[in-house]
Chain A
Amino acid sequence: MNWPYAAVVVLLVLGLYTIIAQRNLLKKLVGLTIFQTAVMLFFLLSSAKRQGALPIVPSGPVDPAAYMNPLPHALMLTAIVVMVASTGVALAILIRLYAAYGSLEEDVIAERVLAESRPLDTAE
């Protein structure tokens, strides 16, 4: 059993479950963050090596097996930027949602949205 990868699977499932099962939009966002972080952890694990050194190499011939793979770290740096941006947009939307509906509960908001659109449909 490869425990670090098992932890990734647990985090992935936990995140996805939170997104689906929670009715509160902020908690959904927390689940989404857990899910994204698990993907990043997976990438970083794939670069790890037993006894692997930091990939700061002297000039001259290098044994790649002695160093961690730096590429996944660079990739995840980009993925973190993406995550920060999407979380920022999500929080901005949540602030405006709370201002508009006074709640972040999915059911309450759905009810209000429906109530506001109904008069328009029945008016004809």
Chain B
Amino acid sequence: MGAHLPILPTLLALAGALLVPIAALAGRRAAEGVAVVAAGAAGLAALAGVAEVAGGGVRRYAVAGWPAPWGIELVLDPLSAFTSAAIACVAAVALAGAGPAARAAFGGAAPRFYALALVVLTGLLGITVSGDLFNVFVFLEISSIAGYALVASGAAPALAAGFRYLVLGTVGASFYLLGVGLLYALTGTLNMGDLAARLPAVSASPLFAGGVGFIVVGLAIKIALFPLHGWLPDAYTHAPPPVAALLPAVATKAPAYALARTLLYVIRPDELPVATALAWAGAGAVVAGGLFALRQTDARRLLAYSSVSQMGYIVLGVGLANGAALTGAYLHVLNHAVMKASLFLALGALLLDARGPSLSALSLASRRPLIGGCMVVAALSMVGVPPAAGFFSKWYLLQGAIEAGQPVLVAAILLGSLLAAVYMYRLTEAVWFGPEDARAAGGRAEAAPAVLAALLVLAVATLGVGLGNAVIVDRLLAPAATATATAR
């Protein structure tokens, strides 16, 4: 079992995706149960992977016994183990809490939602352990295509949003594939370790710069890095609530991980300006996403633009590429996944009874202090108030920007938090203190137990990751970050 740890989480999610339609024959409940168990098992396997490599170990896995560089290699190191555990665990909690929303949105078709959600999870987990650039493309598209279908499974506006997501996402994947093709034409290999050894010899070629450019732009579209975020606001606004609890939390994290992995482990762009450009693009996304979020009246769209802003933080840290900034970026992958899952789950629970998704219609929390309280915890983390988790990732990012001697980036990080304070205040204020609504007053007092449990787990995780961040950083992230930090 131990030898197969790198591939285990991906396989468990895939097995779940295949078993859900079979379990659905025995009823909707069985399908739900299988899905949650599969996602939970994938989360546990990913955590076992974390325990296996904590402190700096590396486990390599040759798929089907074909040795690298000819076969596909999976690599479990502290960074991939951390990312895969973050994605699998948050997805498992989100799926466990999505039950009531899935029943409301899909009715008898809910098993299809669970099957597709597990396909998304399969793809995302595959990206995190893959040691092969083409394999990353395949997993990227496995997760994305299931994601397009999930987004488009909502009411009519979701169809247009899903199609837009599909077109832009496919263009991004094709850009990435074209870049991989250029690097392959240069070196004759697709294995990441092999490429890293061969690329320095050919780094003067214009094909190298072109390949790097296409890969970075392609992944930036998948991450929804401003100004390439065009698909994200509509997709996350119109996606059905159970889908919104899952995709915004995890879907952009795996491409962000792929960006860090290719940039820092394969390309090592000491001479290319691409890292610096990414740091500035990330800073632009932090500020622009925050400003867009300020102007929204639809709570879902507000949270979508906040995703644009928060993904900017991650890209900013990857672009700065020093030890502290990378630590902050990696930690923010987990933190943002936890708080976004929490916010969209809470919003989904409120929307079951609310008049509509606009801020002025959400005044329900005074009757539902638990949901409202969990939203406040996630909002505090988004702003970066200690001891919530968000504070620590932003603290490391800030340190990294100061180390790099970039006062403008420091200002962008702080401004992003300030903007988050304002837009998250608007959301929590609307939820807690908005005018009472007749229909809301007639609604049930709190959400279903499954939703509440998931929300409480996420709220505890927000505080737990914040208080326990030293352990995660020392055992997993700092070794990974300092090993690849560029000396700039």
Residues of A within 8 A of B (CB): 12, 16, 19, 25, 28-29, 32, 35-36, 39, 42-43, 46, 72, 75, 78-79, 82, 85-86, 89-90, 92-94, 96-97, 100-101, 109-110, 113, 116-117, 120-121, 123-124
Contacts and interface: CB of A to CB of B under 8 A. Distances in A.
B152 A93 contact: yes
Contact of A124 (B145, B156, B177, B358): B358
A117 B166 CA distance: 22
B468 interface: no
Q: Per DSSP, are chain B's interface residues mostly helix, strand or loop, or mixed?
A: helix
Contacts of B357: 120
A79 B181 CA distance: 12
Contacts of A120: 356-358
A25 B358 contact: no
A82 B166 contact: no
Contacts of B145: 82, 85-86, 89
Interface of B: 134, 137-138, 141, 144-145, 148-149, 152, 156-157, 159-160, 162-163, 166-167, 170-171, 173-174, 177-178, 181, 184-185, 297-298, 355-358, 360-361
Contact of B181 (A39, A110, A124): A39
A107 to B, nearest CB: 11
A116 B177 CA distance: 38
A39 B177 contact: yes
Contact of A46 (B156, B173, B184, B297): B184
A80 to B, nearest CB: 12
Contacts of A39: 174, 177-178, 181
Contact of B156 (A36, A79, A113): A113
Given A36-B170, A97-B159, A120-B358, A82 B181 contact: no
Nearest to B182: A42
A117 B181 contact: no
Contacts of B355: 123
B184 A116 contact: no
Nearest to A110: B160
A83 to B, nearest CB: 8
A100 B159 contact: yes
A32 B138 contact: no
A39 B152 CA distance: 26
